């Protein structure tokens, strides 16, 4: 990598995955490189320096990797939002639309206390469906969302607008054109 590399430089693009015509943005190459991973975490933290945050919530699955590292740096707790059926104990659920149908995400019903300030993180913002479902769960438990932070935004898919229409602050480290 050049000395002035950006987070974007560490992200691999895989054409035609998982379907023909899709340009898959693979962050595992970013995570695997210690300099790239540190850069991403540091840059995701930067806008929230001095901001009171009580918990970081990560969306399954790559949001867990980012969320755990960010929560550690902020010295706050981490909470996962998981696919249906993956969490033991009492949960609340939220359905959302996918390109090919519907899915459901869940959170423990005691994971957030009313009034706690939350940073929601994931690797990629595409249509915004998963993040919007996560926002609804957090709000149902009384959490106040400080911001939604992502490594990658795919602007053409409209996720940023979906989240901003829900009143969310949205932050992304980089953007890629196309799907």
Active-site residue identified among 62, 106, 116, 160:
62
Q: How far apart are the first and last CA of the chain?
A: 25
Reply yes or no on whether 99 is catalytic. Answer: yes
Reply yes or no on whether 117 is catalytic. Answer: no
Active-site residue identified among 12, 51, 99, 156:
99
Q: Cβ(62)–Cβ(27) under 8 Å? A: yes
Is 6 buried (19+), middle (13-18) or exposed (0-12) by CB count in 10 A?
A: middle
CA distances from 63 to 20, 49, 69, 173 (A): 25, 20, 10, 14
Catalytic residues: 62, 99
């Amino acid at each position: 990598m050049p000395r002035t590399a950006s987070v974007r430089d560490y992200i691999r693009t895989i054409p035609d995955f998982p379907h023909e015509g899709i340009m898959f943005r693979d962050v595992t190459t970013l995570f695997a490189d210690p300099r790239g991973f540190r850069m991403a975490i540091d840059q995701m933290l930067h806008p929230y320096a001095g901001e009171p945050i009580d918990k970081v919530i990560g969306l399954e699955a790559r949001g867990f990797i980012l969320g755990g590292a960010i929560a550690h740096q902020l010295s706050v707790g981490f909470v996962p939002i998981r696919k249906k059926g993956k969490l033991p104990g009492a949960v609340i659920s939220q359905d959302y639309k996918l390109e090919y149908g519907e899915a459901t995400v869940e959170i423990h019903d005691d994971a957030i206390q009313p009034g706690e300030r939350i940073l929601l993180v994931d690797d990629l913002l595409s249509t915004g469906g998963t993040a919007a479902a996560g926002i609804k769960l957090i709000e149902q438990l009384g959490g106040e969302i400080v911001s939604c932070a992502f490594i990658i935004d795919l602007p053409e898919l409209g996720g940023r607008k979906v989240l901003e229409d829900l009143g969310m602050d949205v932050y992304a480290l980089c953007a890629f054109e196309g799907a």
